[in-house]
Structure 1
Amino acid sequence: MGGAVQSIRPGMRVVIPTHLFCGICAMCSQGLSTACLRARAEGPGAAYGYAGMGPYRGALADLLRVPWADANCVPLPGEPGDAR
């Protein structure tokens, strides 16, 4: 885990949206994270595994590099591996 990550800790259960966003640009600040202005240099909006939506490969993996993890990792209740 990178040193810039503040709200997520190893071992936490999280879900990651398909689209990526920074959480602080003008669009994200208005709640329009699917049109993030920082996640893709070519224009608004970025997503895992979608052609033309940035350099982010698919996200079906055991390990994943998550840009802006504090914004993109949504904590879930429970512990990894429990019955929830």
Structure 2
Amino acid sequence: NLGMFGVEEFMAVINPGEGGILAVGAIVDECVPENGQVTIQQRMRVTLCSDHRAFDGADNAQFLATLRALLEQPMALFA
């Protein structure tokens, strides 16, 4: 996690013996169009690097989609 140092986006390196690693960037305010208006929303870049001999790309995509949904609606963890 380099986000705590203000790094917005990076690609982590998989070390020998690791199957994957999640790179988490800083939370930043971004201008986002929404319903014809420009709003300021908090965004965070997350990059998943994995060894495709250990993980299927479709499973990685599903993991990231689930992570996004939970970060956007954290109360879903308690439902």
Q: Which has the higher helix share?
A: 2
Taking structure 2 as the reference length, what is the TM-score of the superposition? 0.23
Q: Which has the higher strand share?
A: 2
Taking structure 1 as the reference length, what is the TM-score of the superposition? 0.22
